[in-house]
Structure 1
Amino acid sequence: MAVSTPLLGVIVLIYLMIIFYLGLLGYKKTKEIDDYMVAGRSIHPYILALSYGATFISTSAIIGFGGAAGALGMGLLWLAVMNIVVGIFIAFVVFGKRTRRMGARLNAVTFPEFLGKRFQSRFIQGFSGAIIGIFMPLYAGIVLIGGARFVETTLGVNYDIAVLILAIIVAAYVITGGLIAVMYTDALQGAFMFIGMIVLLALTYIKLGGVTAAHEALSGMTGLVPESLVAGGHLGWTTMPAFGSPIWWTLVSTLVLGVGIGVLAQPQLAVRYMTVENDRALSRAVLVGGPFILMMTGVAFTVGALSNVYFQKTQGIIAVAAAKGNTDLIIPEFINGAMPELFVVLFMLTLLAAAMSTLSSQFHTMGTAIGHDFYREFIKKGEVGQTVNITRLGIALTIITSVILAYILPISIIARATAIFFGLCAAAFLPMYVGALFWKRMTREGAIASLLVGTAGSLFWLTFIHSKEAVPLGICKALFGVDTLLTGTWTVVDPIIVATPIAMIVAIVVSLATTPPSAEHLKDCYGK
């Protein structure tokens, strides 16, 4: 159904007014470069937790991964476990505290600068900034798709127009207000998301006759799994796929591990550790971040799988069929069909919040990567100049790129594109990030080698081996006359499984073979 009510206009107007007020507040508080880049290093831990969570969990999780659960089933809940254990606890307590302390000692204001200063390399900072500027628009593009698809389905607004409206609204407060504005608006949007997902879960179970009835009905639908999915290893929506099957590899290596591990090396998330005053703030943030991520991912994946029960009862078909083969439409179709009209309006705000919170952080990260890391440090060799203005220009350029990608990317792309970017970040950044935090013996040469090998390895695997990307791209076919260079199971193994361990080994071997950092520099990084 398409919602048309004066109440919608009033709610959206009030929501946008609050968002722009917070953006203005951020603008007024942005006086120094540290304010624009790392929110003055004085953000409240609860704002940090909500901002981190709202940035991490976007429409890609709710729409894209919720839709993937509609197709693949509740095995995706393992990703929710990974998100909480790795994405919150390990991220904040193990990585976050060391990142905050070292970032403050080195006066780093971006993730690439943190790595560049630890390894005394402008190349690392500039190359890392270039990776973010070039490849993060893919991630931002699919977040735009997620938000726009729901607006399209709910309001009957043309998809292309919905993409443009979302991009313009987010750009308005990110370009002016910097990270303070981003984190303030993120916190508000995170609160909207939390409430929206609680209500969605409750209404879903009510609609399907209760918790037990809903899950029993889903378990009883095993015989309705399409033959194409059965052949790939699908055993039903309440069980894991057959071990070692193509769908098992997609679920485990691409979705669960690709995103579950890749989160540790996300530039837009890592920089948030540097926005608080002390370690205690990070510990307190876990208490808010954990439940928030549980509610966001757990509900999305559960509702996505259970949507099959609703569509079977009302239309006699499974969720993928109801969405006409586009998994990105499963959640929008379910909510618009099964939920009360008022909730559809309110949930649209939830998804707008999810999209806007993630997009604002992505645009800020891409802009600082281009303006601060690539332009100022790599091109201008540290000359201050017009850094903030170039950063704002970088944000504008990456927004335009993201909008173009949202127009041209294929259907059912949200979950896969998220995993691609997370996996690339893991292969390129994670080995040297781990070394920077935990291994004093890691050298500049080792870090550069791991950065180059991880980046090249991930892109090579995507282009020539992993069939989900290699076949549509067609580069391997054009050069070698075959869809993929390897066959069999290798074609469904995600690049993160191959490229990240290789980059880690390269980092260790090259570091041990080269001169260790000076004691003086290590003291600057680690303190006593």
Structure 2
Amino acid sequence: MAIKIIMLLVFFGVMVGIGLYCRKNATDVTGFVLGGRSVGPWLTAFAYGTSYFSAVVFVGYAGQFGWKYGIAATWAGIGNAVLGSLLAWVVLGRRTRIMTQHLDSATMPEFFGKRFGSKSLKIAASVIIFIFLIPYTASLYNGLSRLFGMAFDIDYAVCVIVMAILTGVYVIAGGYMATAINDFIQGIIMLFGICAVIAAVLGSQGGFMAALTKLAQVSNETAAGPVAGAPGVFASFFGPDPVNLLGVVILTSLGTWGLPQMVQKFYAIKSEKSINTGTVISTLFAMVVSGGCYFLGGFGRLFSDVVGVTEAGTPVGGFDAVIPAMLSGLPDILLAVVVILVLSASMSTLSSLVLTSSSTMTLDLLKGHIIKEMNEKKQVFIMRCLIAVFIAISAVLAIIQYRSSVTFIAQLMGVSWGALAGAFLAPFLYGLYWRGATKIACWTSFIFSTVVMLADISPLKASFPPILVSPINCGAFCMIAGLVIVPVVSLFTAKPKKELVDDAFSCYEEKVTVRKSQALGDPQ
């Protein structure tokens, strides 16, 4: 217990210390929100990765999808690395950095407002972000209760309050730069932690080959459906349900292209070299952390005797109980590492979300609309106040959900990724690449995804096709649909003003001098 407490105190001390150290970089809006657009490749890549993967992935998704799909759940981690990290950096990284700086936009709603010449579009985007990020923020505390209860026997409310206060201190003090540096440290912990946990868990089963052999002997005897009683299905290449597994891959991978807290990382990139280096680092980070989490979860059914199985074939205590059950037999020192790993994953994502929410609320809703005159100092002050408010709200919601077993909050969190990414992905992507995207097309994408995802948690859900009843599949559908809706609607609606579009895309035409190692140049 002494070792666990000492490790936690050191961890918390470093986080707060970095926040206080970075105060000098958070004196104006650009410094507080984007780190002065001078964040290097390692910090940017780790900030992207740690914001991507939280305790929701490690405890919730890894346990749930590992139990459902077996070792095939690893495909979700591979998708996160290739589609959610590698291609996201290649397709969005450079163009996002160039155009957002040219348009002088610090948030995604501000980008929409300036790119499409619409204040109402900016306000609508900020409202959507506020509605769907708050419950997502509250969900980050999930998973901590079981792990802390197992390791320290501490009340869940105490865990939530301590995590909220410490995260608030370093984000409020140091802004984006403090978040990025802490994300780097937390990312290192996540990398080493997941590797150590996988080695220990597989070691308890006799090693990888022995564990895989045992998993191949597990049959789905207590579950309904075509795989009931089929031995080897959980050790197979695509698992028992490849169609729904594909929905998981699309939602958790393609979703990052439209999530404001993820895309905003590209705003702060320092240089061309940072993009190239960051692409490699971010991809490797995702492959290890996300691939490792889902790979670990794939062996969850080997611990059925520990977690218990209901008559319906689900774990006793829900899917969140799977990973803690797998970790319950670890040595104390490794259990302390796991707790810090989950804390790191949760705090890094929490800091990113509240910084995104506060900057969006201040710059896109309050500034110029509710408060007409706001200088730089006042904007930063209001953002700091809103960070405290958002963290407090998320902590209260998390405690209420835990105490009263309110499921609505958890359901709304489940659709937040689908609603946000479905609404923003296509307008943002086409806004960077295509001159023909129109304001009405953006509105259509916003309305379609938010309405569909909200309907998915209402009685209207009963009228959905069976494949879209799952919020996972429904969210993936909204993302794909947006990529079709925006170009189709743009072809039949009023074209954007030529001057507006020419100005936005002029930033790509500026000439720069590069070395011949990067470009051959014109023949003499």
Shorter chain as normaliser: what TM range? 0.7 to 0.9
- Note the C-alpha offset of 1:377: 4.8
Task: Give distance in 2, aligned partners of 1:39 and 1:438.
Answer: 26
Task: Give distance in 2, aligned partners of 1:78 and 1:411.
Answer: 32
Partner of 2:512: none
Deviations 1:78-110 (A, max 9, x none): 211211111111111111111001011111111
Matched, 1:491 2:485: no
Residues 277 and 234 from structure 1, CA distance in 2 versus in 1: closer, same or farther, beyond 3 angstroms?
Answer: farther
Partner of 2:390: 398
Partner of 1:308: 301
Indicate if the aligned counterparts of 1:105 and 1:525 stay in contact, CA closer than 8 A: no
Pairing partner for 1:101 from 98, 118, 122: 98
Pairing partner for 1:110 from 102, 107, 114: 107
Task: Give distance in 2, aligned partners of 1:160 and 1:110.
Answer: 32
Pairing partner for 2:13 from 6, 10, 17: 17
Task: Give distance in 2, aligned partners of 1:210 and 1:444.
Answer: 56
Deviations 1:178-235 (A, max 9, x none): 1111111111100111010111111122211111111010110125x42347679997
Task: Give distance in 2, aligned partners of 1:489 and 1:292.
Answer: 32
Task: Give distance in 2, aligned partners of 1:202 and 1:412.
Answer: 35
Identity, in percent, stands at 24
Partner of 1:185: 182
Amino acid at match of 1:304: G
Pairing partner for 2:148 from 147, 151, 167: 151
Partner of 1:515: 495
Partner of 1:423: 418
Matched, 1:328 2:320: yes
- Note the C-alpha offset of 1:324: 2.1
- Note the C-alpha offset of 1:450: 2.2
- Note the C-alpha offset of 1:285: 0.8
- Note the C-alpha offset of 1:380: 4.2
Pairing partner for 2:343 from 333, 352, 358: 352
Matched, 1:38 2:41: no
Amino acid at match of 1:25: Y
SS at match of 1:109: coil
Partner of 1:471: none
Pairing partner for 2:364 from 343, 357, 373: 373
> What TM-score does the superposition give when structure 2 sets the normalisation length?
0.88
SS at match of 2:206: coil
Amino acid at match of 2:104: N
- Note the C-alpha offset of 1:525: 3.9
Residues 191 and 29 from structure 1, CA distance in 2 versus in 1: closer, same or farther, beyond 3 angstroms?
Answer: same
Structure 1 residues 447-526: aligned runs within 5 Å = 447-466=442-461, 484-486=462-464, 488-492=466-470, 494-512=473-491, 513-519=493-499, 521-526=501-506
Partner of 2:119: 122
- Note the C-alpha offset of 1:17: 1.1
Indicate if the aligned counterparts of 2:170 and 2:178 stay in contact, CA closer than 8 A: yes
- Note the C-alpha offset of 1:419: 4.8
- Note the C-alpha offset of 1:408: 3.8
- Note the C-alpha offset of 1:118: 1.0
Amino acid at match of 2:324: P
Structure 1 residues 223-234: aligned runs within 5 Å = 223=220, 225-228=221-224
Pairing partner for 1:221 from 214, 218, 221: 218
Indicate if the aligned counterparts of 1:201 and 1:299 stay in contact, CA closer than 8 A: yes
How many residue pairs were aligned? 499
Indicate if the aligned counterparts of 2:72 and 2:298 stay in contact, CA closer than 8 A: no
Indicate if the aligned counterparts of 2:308 and 2:316 stay in contact, CA closer than 8 A: no
Structure 1 runs not aligned, ≥5 long:
467-483
SS at match of 2:154: coil
Task: Give distance in 1, aligned partners of 2:229 and 2:464.
Answer: 21
- Note the C-alpha offset of 1:12: 1.2
Matched, 1:195 2:192: yes
Amino acid at match of 1:516: P
Residues 164 and 74 from structure 1, CA distance in 2 versus in 1: closer, same or farther, beyond 3 angstroms?
Answer: same
Deviations 1:459-513 (A, max 9, x none): 23443454xxxxxxxxxxxxxxxxx124644434732344334444442244232
Indicate if the aligned counterparts of 2:222 and 2:313 stay in contact, CA closer than 8 A: no
Task: Give distance in 2, aligned partners of 1:77 and 1:340.
Answer: 26
Matched, 1:275 2:268: yes
SS at match of 1:362: helix
Matched, 1:441 2:436: yes
Partner of 1:256: 249
Name whichever of 441-450 and 210-219 sits farther off.
441-450
Residues 122 and 328 from structure 1, CA distance in 2 versus in 1: closer, same or farther, beyond 3 angstroms?
Answer: same
Task: Give distance in 1, aligned partners of 2:229 and 2:249.
Answer: 17
Indicate if the aligned counterparts of 1:328 and 1:412 stay in contact, CA closer than 8 A: no
Indicate if the aligned counterparts of 2:76 and 2:294 stay in contact, CA closer than 8 A: no
Residues 446 and 488 from structure 1, CA distance in 2 versus in 1: closer, same or farther, beyond 3 angstroms?
Answer: closer
Q: CA RMSD in A?
A: 2.8
Amino acid at match of 1:460: A
- Note the C-alpha offset of 1:355: 0.9
Matched, 1:76 2:54: no
Name whichever of 361-370 and 71-80 sits farther off.
71-80
Task: Give distance in 2, aligned partners of 1:383 and 1:441.
Answer: 34
Indicate if the aligned counterparts of 1:171 and 1:396 stay in contact, CA closer than 8 A: yes
Indicate if the aligned counterparts of 2:109 and 2:126 stay in contact, CA closer than 8 A: yes
Task: Give distance in 1, aligned partners of 2:406 and 2:338.
Answer: 22
